[in-house]
Amino acid sequence: MVWPAASRKLESRTQTGTEGPDTPQPIHFFEGWEEIPDTQDYPNGFRVEWELFLRHLVGEVPLAEQDPWIEPVID
């Protein structure tokens, strides 16, 4: 769809006086946040990916069988 330049008026918007960056924010956003307890130790994601890749290089397991996100290359 092509809009001719003369057929539409450009819209301009501006902040109201109470929404300016120099005005203090009346809402404290962090007050509604809750801390999530550590119920499980997760391994470092970079280390896990490197270990999978190194296993592939050594020839233990093909990379496509280790990582479900990698699609196998078909020759």
**How confident is the model over 22-67, as pLDDT tens digits?**
777 778 878 888 888 888 887 888 888 888 888 888 887 776 666 6
Q: Is residue 1 part of a domain?
A: no
Which residue range forms the structural domain that includes residue 65? 44-75
CA distance 14 to 38: 44
Q: Is residue 18 part of a domain?
A: no
Q: Is residue 12 part of a domain?
A: no
Q: Is residue 3 part of a domain?
A: no
pLDDT at 71 over 80: no
CA distance 69 to 48: 14
- The beta strands (E) that lie in the chain are given as none
How far is residue 6 CA from its own chain's centroid?
40
Please state the domain count of the chain: 1
Q: Is residue 29 part of a domain?
A: no
CA distance 43 to 26: 40
Q: Is residue 7 part of a domain?
A: no
Range with the poorest average pLDDT among 4-8, 13-17, 63-67 = 4-8
Query: Which tokens belong to 27?
Result: 């809402």
Is the entire prediction scored with pTM above 0.75?
Answer: no
Q: Is residue 39 part of a domain?
A: no
Q: Is residue 36 part of a domain?
A: no
